[in-house]
Amino acid sequence: MRLKLLLFSALSFMLSPLCLAQQGSGGFQTAVDSVTSVDSSNTASRQWFSHQVDYARHWWNSLFPSKFVMQNAGNMGFLSGGVGWGYGGRQQWETGMLMGWIPKHRSSSAKLTLTIKQSYIPWSQSIGKRWSVEPLRVGVYLNAVFGDQFWAEQPKRYPTSYYGFSTKFRVNVCFGQQVSCHFNLSDSHTPSIVFSFFYEFSTCDTYIMSKLKNSRVSWTDIIGLSLGIAVQF
Amino acid sequence: MKPIVRYCLGIFLPSVWMPFCCLCLLLSSCEKTFDIHPYDVTLNMPSQINLANMARIENACEGKDTVRVAVISDTHEWYTDMHDEVDDINRHTSVDFVIHLGDLTNMGFNKEYEWACKELSRLQPPYVVLIGNHDHLGTGDESYDLIFGPRDFSFIAGRIKFLCLNTNAGEYDYMADVPNFSFLQQQIIQSVGDFDHTVVAMHIPPYSNQFNNNVCLAFRAYLDYFPDLYCGIFGHNHDTYEKALFGDSLMFYGVGSAQKRKYRIFTFTNAGYEVETIAF
């Protein structure tokens, strides 16, 4: 039941911008029209108002996810997919929200995970008109795995502060590189659709602790590779 | 282009997502390179180690008067200490087999099981592993079942029956048959006549947190049905000490964690037993 609710909320979250897009372009426009018809002589107040509307629309539009992301492995499931928001002057910041799927393999059931990811892409180097290379992308992400056997805080059955960790949440760090391909669809006014192909090396907090405590655990044991695609639209 | 069109274009662009999914499926065989999740129970685990090793122990100890057993416990994430511990046991060539009293992992991660199994596989004598409370966390209990086998088990070495019990009642919220009295009852009669002495091994000792302390005395009473009870051995407390937990003649021996760099070697004979504490 909880799983169904989760899937439903994830789906509605991904589809919600469709409704918002229509509201955003229609709703504010009528408000401006009605004001202009009442008081068309006062241009200063009209300018102020339309500036406010522009600002509100810009703010409203920035709530829309600007990219779709799909990634494999990386301690968040066999395959994860979700939406991302790119921002910053050079689009150097990226916040993502991904749902992941852990296959059943040899356990009793498959599991779902949810990841909130913050990435930073400091440099971008253009190669010709179409291609660009981002030599570094670093990120931090919080992963939650869903299931009754995983807890954020130890259940009441245990003695007070017996397990000083959470089995549900893992903090991961990653670093990698990406290549982007820019497509101009119609005219120069609209931003192009950007396909980014990236790879990342990632590890999680407890693996790092194990590595630091044990010289026998090697870096290659704890660091995993992950491949991904982001489509900015 | 309208945002709605762009959005639809993005979500239904199978030319990008489909090949990527196929690529991921192709790469799924490289489990070492791609970390799916700490709680992913993977396909490349060894399986039913305890069952195979119990048969080895029973064969090797058949007809022996003296059985030497190295007992280790609570190795958790101290793999370096565990490595030295394994090396030290391998130097004691007279040891017939090894019992690990549980808490092989810290959080029940797939990788933690892999790392610990890698160290254990270096042991020259055969070994059995009990389940500890930490091994239950997340999908750890499922991994344990796959790698080692049933959580309650017993085997006979020489003329001694070793009862290995799951006593982590707290992990089941005290709602399961832990300790399993049906198993104990069954073991009283199973292969009766093949053994004259009994040793009981567990992770959590009676009267400790997470043991089902409501049934401590009942547990003790059931043990009396076994012939010539030598002693009890337990882990969990990370300390090397001995105590008559029920205030009677039955001694319980605590085995320290790998981090404390001590373990015990028991020498069982038909006349009695001796305990050595080994520092490494």
Cross-chain Cβ contact A68/B11 below 8 Å: yes
Q: What is the mean pLDDT of chain A?
A: 82
pLDDT digits (tens, 9 = 90+) for B40-61: 998 677 889 999 999 999 999 9
| Chain B contact present for A85, CB below 8 A | no
Sorting pLDDT into bands at 50, 70 and 90, what band is B106?
very high
Amino acid identity, residue B232? G
Q: Select from B268, B220, B262 the least CA-distant residue to B85.
A: B262
Rounded to the nearest angstrom, the minimum Cα separation between A138 and chain B is 18
Which range (A32-36, A127-131, B162-166, B239-243) has the least confidence?
A32-36
Name residues 109-138 of chain A within 8 A of B (Cβ): 111, 113
* pLDDT number for residue B3: 61
* pLDDT number for residue A190: 59
Pairwise CA distance, residues B272 & A25, whole Å: 88
Cβ atoms of residues A96 and A88 within 8 Å: no
pLDDT digits (tens, 9 = 90+) for B56-92: 999 999 889 999 999 999 999 899 999 999 999 999 9
Sorting pLDDT into bands at 50, 70 and 90, what band is A137?
very high
Please provide the distance, in angstroms rounded to a whole number, between the alpha carbons at the two ends of chain A: 34
pLDDT digits (tens, 9 = 90+) for A175-207: 999 999 888 766 666 567 888 999 999 999 999
* pLDDT number for residue B29: 72
pLDDT digits (tens, 9 = 90+) for B156-207: 998 999 999 999 999 999 999 999 999 999 999 998 889 999 999 999 999 9
Rounded to the nearest angstrom, the minimum Cα separation between A226 and chain B is 6
Average pLDDT over residues A149-173: 90
* pLDDT number for residue B14: 58
| Chain B contact present for A163, CB below 8 A | yes
Pairwise CA distance, residues B103 & B116, whole Å: 10
Residues of chain A positioned with their CB less than 8 A from the CB of B107: 165, 167, 206
| pLDDT over threshold 60, residue B1 | no
Cβ atoms of residues B89 and B81 within 8 Å: no
| pLDDT over threshold 80, residue B97 | yes
Cβ atoms of residues A98 and A71 within 8 Å: yes
Cα A104 to the center of its chain, rounded Å: 25
* pLDDT number for residue A157: 86
pLDDT digits (tens, 9 = 90+) for A90-121: 889 999 999 999 998 888 999 999 999 999 99
Cβ atoms of residues B53 and B152 within 8 Å: no
Residue B251 burial (10 A CB sphere; 0-12, 13-18, 19+): middle
* pLDDT number for residue B261: 92
Cβ atoms of residues A134 and A228 within 8 Å: no
Cross-chain Cβ contact B24/A78 below 8 Å: yes
pLDDT digits (tens, 9 = 90+) for B207-232: 998 899 999 999 999 999 999 999 99
Name residues 212-241 of chain B within 8 A of A (Cβ): none
Cβ atoms of residues A117 and A107 within 8 Å: no
Rounded to the nearest angstrom, the minimum Cα separation between B109 and chain A is 9
> What is the predicted ipTM?
0.85
Domains of chain B (ranges; CATH) run: 1-30 (no CATH), 49-279 (3.60.21.10)
pLDDT digits (tens, 9 = 90+) for A40-89: 567 888 888 888 888 888 888 778 888 889 998 889 999 999 999 988 88
Residues of chain B positioned with their CB less than 8 A from the CB of A226: 34
Cross-chain Cβ contact A214/B23 below 8 Å: no
* pLDDT number for residue B221: 94
* pLDDT number for residue B11: 60
pLDDT digits (tens, 9 = 90+) for B121-149: 999 999 999 999 999 999 999 999 999 99
